Structure 1
Amino acid sequence: MTTTHHLPAGKAAAGPYAVDISPESAGWGHSSLRVLELPPGGWHSFDTGDSEWIVLPLAGSCTVAVEGKTFRLAGRRSVFTSVSDFVYVPRDAQVSLASRDGGRFALTGARCTRRLPARHQPASAVPVELRGTGNCSRQVNNFGAAGVFECDQLIAVEVITPGGNWSSFPPHKHDEHRPGEESELEEIYYFEIADHEGTPGLGYQRVSPSGHGQGTDVLAEVRDGDSVLIPDGWHGPSMAVPGHDMYYLNVMAGPGAERDWLICDHPDHGWIRGTWQGQPVDPRLPLYTAPEKS
């Protein structure tokens, strides 16, 4: 098993960031993730460089200033309480974040060529999808999904798995370019795990070799603030232990000309999808829905 692809909380910290994963540090070409923690009254500025970014509140609210515009993000109390609004910022720009009450903010990034305009997306425009049934049920907040929100290369979604459930199942991959069938995408998983009356939670993440690329092989116990890098391979399941809901943020990008999320199921496990039709979704889901449009 490789350990270089599992980054426990703190291992990927750098400078002002609790998590700082760049193409250079990951050893690949496209995907980035930063997690910024601001104290009350705190602020931070950064250059977007050759990448486009989405500023997504994980906990708290903030303002985002870019290109003479200031966007106010209402944010949320935590990833387990509500969908959040977010701001897209383009490459080759200077960005400033400020938070009156402090908070934790994800910066999801991808190297790109097109320069799209900065803009705010309200929480009411985020589609909330339920996937799977029974103990394979999970909730997906498709805030930055392909076909939902326009980016040049970046794809980003949130997944919430109730305690005791399996998600990212059946295992799937996207490490080859096969037109109309599979996209080539690097992926980052960033985890937050709900505690229980102050007791920390945990989960497990599996990545197995697909026979393409580096043959990534990971079986990791993941805890709050951990990240897993997936340059290739079958990824899944992501397992939430009973009593502790699991959240993960997926960040994806690749070299393809088309911004698509096309996956291939593991041939030994893809049959499970055929058992879902007509079966009930876990009644604990959705944990929440997007607010109605005002």
Structure 2
Amino acid sequence: MSQPTALYDLPGPRTRRRHRLYGVVSTAVIVALAGWVLHLLFDTHQFTATKWAPFTYQGIQELLLRGLGNTLRAFGYAAALSLALGAVLAAGRLSDHRAVRLPATVLVEFFRAMPVLVMIFFIFVALKVQALPALVAGLTLYNGSVLAEVFRAGVNSVEPGQREAAYALGMRKTQVMTYVLAPQAVRAMLPTIISQLVVALKDTSLGYLITYEEFLHAGKLIASNLDYDLPFIPVVMVISPIYIGMCMLLSWFANWMARRQRRNPRTEAVGVAPADPGTLLPRGQ
């Protein structure tokens, strides 16, 4: 008889056999789908030398690298400005003064509801701004308003007693926010912040619609080249893993930061292990 755990009974022999069957069937289905996709790619001649020849030329490689650099440049500007704008709007929404809180709320709700592509086009066409500033401004307004709600929710998620204890010690509101609420809220906010930055990274691809020479724009130029038999699928197969890799790198960074946040710097610094519940510590510890 299987031994029960704290949450559920361990699966018996029949259940384990059923799970193995599910695993085998799922694997077979995935392999079959992958084989079918490969068959379609070979059948439509997507792996011919002509379609892959552009990537062997130095000029094409430099075009892709330049586009990738422009993508990272736009993302860097948009990420930094979005975080700053989100912090300012969140502070406005958390203000006790209605004259500050109401305009901040209107701005957040307006820019969150506005499609980012519409904002980019409006700034580029109506305001006659250059491609890079228009792209960065559109991404900043949208992602900054979303991050404002993330910051506000993170601060409000901190236990009310923490705020009350800080005020009881005579701290001002700015000090309470800086030294008490924000450090604790970062742990809850970090995964969502990184997720929103991933969205900003992917949305930089909208720059090709306003002729900004980012990564997708470079791929579009290659894919539309008649001299190479319109290598659309090869371009997708080259560009997509790079976008996925950058997003995975951001996710890894989020996990790394979360692990650092879970550590106890004070305990590690003095080399004292945490005491068990109910243990009396010596005087002075």
TM-score, with structure 2 as normaliser: 0.21
Q: Which has the larger radius of gyration?
A: 2
More strand by share: 1
TM-score, with structure 1 as normaliser: 0.20
